[in-house]
């Protein structure tokens, strides 16, 4: 079953983004809402961030995923965090980020939550299919990020696009 999942994710993420969006829109026809977690390392004074390397593996991203039908965003964020990193937090342990919702072009909305956990006592577990690696990275020394992750982090003053003009600049 794990091999089938890995193959399915591998094929999906190799498709052109327009095809991936088309498929997602067929599954969620009216809107696309994702839940995202910004998880910081409390051992490092919140100066490290949990990032994931997912298929196709060309950049690092945040724990995130689509909400299930009728799922509360905070519940979806906690679920995705556990599925992708092995970190199991209760929904009430997540704080709404400011801004809490980021609206992207083409009908995509990310609802963003924050949490702090001690990396020294937190075990990271990935499945090797949906997520290849999960690691803590210093905010001042981030690895290559996916374009979507770099744009999202800019809203929070983090990453390579934080000081560049964009819709996030008006929020700070």
Confidence (pLDDT) at 31: 65
Confidence (pLDDT) at 93: 97
Confidence (pLDDT) at 92: 97
Residue 85: inside a domain? yes
Q: If we measure between CA atoms, which residue out of 33, 32, 51 comes closest to residue 41?
A: 51
Confidence (pLDDT) at 24: 79
CB-CB contact of 102 with 152 (8 Å): yes
Confidence (pLDDT) at 88: 97
Return mean pLDDT, the chain.
90
Residue 45: inside a domain? yes
Report the percent of the chain where pLDDT is more than 90.
Answer: 63
Q: Residue 134 sits in which domain range?
A: 2-139
22, pLDDT greater than 80: yes
Count up the domains in the chain and report the number.
1
CB-CB contact of 130 with 114 (8 Å): no
3-state secondary structure at position 104 = strand
Give me the CATH number covering residue 31: 3.90.79.10
Average pLDDT on 61-79 reads: 95
Confidence (pLDDT) at 1: 67
Measured from the Cβ of residue 105, the count of other Cβ atoms closer than 10 Å reads 6
Residue 144: inside a domain? no
pLDDT digits (tens, 9 = 90+) for 28-44: 656 688 999 999 999 99
pLDDT digits (tens, 9 = 90+) for 71-110: 999 999 999 999 999 999 999 999 999 999 998 777 789 9
With cut-offs at 50, 70 and 90, classify the pLDDT of residue 58. confident
Confidence (pLDDT) at 171: 61
**d(C-alpha 119, C-alpha 39), whole Å:** 10
Residue 87: inside a domain? yes
Residue where the block lists tokens 């992207």:
104
Average pLDDT on 4-18 reads: 85
Residue 46: inside a domain? yes
Residue 91: inside a domain? yes
Confidence (pLDDT) at 146: 94
Residue 27: inside a domain? yes
Higher pLDDT, 90 or 56: 90
Residue 159: inside a domain? no
């Amino acid at each position: 079953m794990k091999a089938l999942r890995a193959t399915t994710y591998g094929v999906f993420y190799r498709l052109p983004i327009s095809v991936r969006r088309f498929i997602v829109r067929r599954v969620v026809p009216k809107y696309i809402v994702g839940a995202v977690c910004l998880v910081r390392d409390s051992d490092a004074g919140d100066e490290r961030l949990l990032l994931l390397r997912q298929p196709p593996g060309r950049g690092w991203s945040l724990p995130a995923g689509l909400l299930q039908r009728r799922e509360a965003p905070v519940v979806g964020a906690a679920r995705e965090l556990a599925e992708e990193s092995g970190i199991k937090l209760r929904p009430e342990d997540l704080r709404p980020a400011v801004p809490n919702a980021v609206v992207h072009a083409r009908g995509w909305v990310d609802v963003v939550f924050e949490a702090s956990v001690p990396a020294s006592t937190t075990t990271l577990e990935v499945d090797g299919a949906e997520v290849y690696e999960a690691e803590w990275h210093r905010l001042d020394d981030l690895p290559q990020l996916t374009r979507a992750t770099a744009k999202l982090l800019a809203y929070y003053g983090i990453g390579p696009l934080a000081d560049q003009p964009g819709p996030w600049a008006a929020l700070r």
